[in-house]
Structure 1
Amino acid sequence: MPKAKKPKWWIYHILVGGFAILMLYPVIWLLMSSFKPSDTIFVTAQSLIPDPFILSNFAQGWEGIGGNSFGVFIKNTVVLVIITMIGQVISSAVIAFGFARLSFFGKSFWFALMMVTLMLPYEVVMIPQYIIFSKLGWLDSIKPIAVPAYFGHPFFIFLLVQFIRTIPRELDEAATIDGCGTFKIFYKIILPLIRPALATVSIFSFYWTWDNLLGPVLYLNSPDKYTVSMALNMFLSNETVSNWGAMFAMSIVTLIPVFVIFFLFQRHVVEGISTSGLKG
């Protein structure tokens, strides 16, 4: 490396390293706090390093709430994530294929209408949806959260539409000459080529469902059906002393799958998003 560029190189890495530490500090503080007694976590003079260093927060947090261990909440969340993720990926891919490749009456209007729904806050449709699901008898179950996932997600549809448009139509025409119908073109040609975008959709669906609190709070009433986000919220109390140590400990446990998924599939996220804006 030329000597003239060395100072710039060091300045760049110092700045990037400083910003990385700044961004990671809340996670580091959360991790260190999970090993502290609850009554010392928010003491101003308390250092970042736990003193004393305890592991009882993890044991207390894993005991759970209402006679259900934290493993029950993790199991409930995993089931909900898998069901929702499958529904959003499949339905969004099918709808995106229709918008990107098929011609039908009012196609532009329906696509624009779908995009408008991205601007609607969830609070706008929350009450109507709750009334509908209440009349269907779906309350206190995961149906109100999982079933809508099988009707597509606007953001995922838009992402996949942009990705499919990068695929040359000549491949569809060649498949049609070979005798492939619409479904076979989708299954044999389009799906294998949009794997990066499907991976991106799957990861985002996992993150958003795993962290979702408002949906489970609205529709789940039985403690044995709670998700991890609800369980973490139950460690806080307005009437008694909040068990911050146990909550932070279980927060670390629930962050493990998020970090694992990110580091394993971050390449697919970048590839899926970066190529979705291209147009072939």
Structure 2
Amino acid sequence: MNMKRKKIANYAFNAVVLTIAVLMLYPVLWLIFSSFKPNTDIFQTATELFPRTWTLDNYVTGFKGIGGIPFMKFIMNSLTIALISTVGAVVSSAIISYGFARIPFKTKGFWFACVLVTMMLPAEIIMVPQYLWYNFLGWVNTLLPVTAIYYFGQAFFIFMMVQFIQGIPVELDEAAKMDGCGRVQIFLRVIIPLLKPSLATTAIFSFYWRWEELIGPMLYLTRPDDFTVSVALKQFLDASSASNWGAMFAMSVISLLPVLIVFFMFQKYIVQGISTTGLK
């Protein structure tokens, strides 16, 4: 009887989890299948998941782009910004985190608290001062406002890495010192190899956030040739004329691919981080 109850409980649990998964994935599935519907049928058959008539016209139209600029140009712009920003966020956050976690200095607690406070500061508050400052520096209509700032660390990643580094035994640092390693060598040879799961998590989140960012590119990149995927997708919708929903849905599906590729490339490191908590 106990075995039978356990089986029933497992089946019920799996059924509930599967139902929740379907509900969560349904909007994405609807987006994918709607991208294969004729533009006129998307909302007329909105309650139907599968298209009545399958078509690739939305993808053909979408790849033609906007204003004579092919959509691949926008994808390359987003990739460039996301990769440059991700490298800066990972490297700078790792260095700053090592300083907070391992190097003793006065007022360390105060400065770490300042870093945490910046996570609670709404981006809208600093948007205008930032724009005025970047405009004064002549950075507007360049990649610097959407890439350079991430080379000074990001509060969320710094906080996450500090907790991870503090979980690494200090005895490893002391053993490296006995072998003649300095601070830089300890960071590169001891901390970085053990920090890979946290670095991978930082890379995934940073890439995703920069890839989907809309406000920054809209503020600082006003030339159509510099538009990112998020800005380009918005251009398919026009309040004063007909909106091309089919092309926008099709290119939205294409824009999901880089994020999925990055996630599946680094997911094993996330699993390692959860299962080993930074120790091997």
Q: Deviations over 1:218-265 (max 9, x none)?
A: 100111111100110110001110000000000000111222222333
Q: 1:13 to 1:68 in 2, by over 3 A?
A: same
Structure 1 residue 9 displacement after superposition: 1.2
C-alpha separation between the residues in 1 aligned to 2:13 and 2:255?
34
C-alpha separation between the residues in 2 aligned to 1:45 and 1:226?
30
C-alpha separation between the residues in 1 aligned to 2:60 and 2:120?
43
C-alpha separation between the residues in 2 aligned to 1:131 and 1:193?
41
Scaled by the length of structure 1, what TM-score is found?
Answer: 0.95
Which residue identity lines up with residue 13 of structure 1 in the other structure?
Answer: N
1:61–1:249 Cα contact (<8 Å) kept: yes
C-alpha separation between the residues in 2 aligned to 1:245 and 1:216?
24
C-alpha separation between the residues in 2 aligned to 1:205 and 1:58?
28
- Mapping 1:1-280, distance limit 5 Å: 2-43=3-44, 47-272=48-273
C-alpha separation between the residues in 2 aligned to 1:59 and 1:273?
42
C-alpha separation between the residues in 1 aligned to 2:270 and 2:218?
29
C-alpha separation between the residues in 2 aligned to 1:229 and 1:272?
31
1:40–1:46 Cα contact (<8 Å) kept: no
C-alpha separation between the residues in 1 aligned to 2:103 and 2:47?
63
5+ residue gaps in structure 1? none
Structure 1 residue 183 displacement after superposition: 0.9
C-alpha separation between the residues in 2 aligned to 1:273 and 1:148?
30
Query: Which stretch of structure 1 is more off in the superposition, 166-175 or 238-247?
Result: 166-175
C-alpha separation between the residues in 2 aligned to 1:157 and 1:5?
44
Runs of 4+ in 1 over 6 A off after TM superposition: 273-276
C-alpha separation between the residues in 2 aligned to 1:45 and 1:139?
41
1:200–1:272 Cα contact (<8 Å) kept: no
Q: Percent identity?
A: 51
C-alpha separation between the residues in 2 aligned to 1:169 and 1:12?
43
User: How big is the alpha-carbon RMSD for the aligned residues of Structure 1 and Structure 2?
Assistant: 1.8
Structure 1 residue 272 displacement after superposition: 3.7
1:203–1:269 Cα contact (<8 Å) kept: no
Instruction: Look up the SS of the partner of 1:40 in the other structure.
Output: coil
Scaled by the length of structure 2, what TM-score is found?
Answer: 0.95
1:211–1:229 Cα contact (<8 Å) kept: yes
Q: 1:8 to 1:189 in 2, by over 3 A?
A: same
Which residue identity lines up with residue 144 of structure 2 in the other structure?
Answer: K
C-alpha separation between the residues in 2 aligned to 1:217 and 1:269?
32
Query: Which stretch of structure 1 is more off in the superposition, 141-150 or 169-178?
Result: 169-178
Q: 1:45 to 1:258 in 2, by over 3 A?
A: closer
Which residue identity lines up with residue 98 of structure 1 in the other structure?
Answer: G
Structure 1 residue 92 displacement after superposition: 0.2
Q: Deviations over 1:190-235 (max 9, x none)?
A: 1111111101101111110111111101100111111100110110
5+ residue gaps in structure 2? none
Q: 1:15 to 1:208 in 2, by over 3 A?
A: same
Structure 1 residue 93 displacement after superposition: 0.3
Which residue identity lines up with residue 61 of structure 2 in the other structure?
Answer: Q
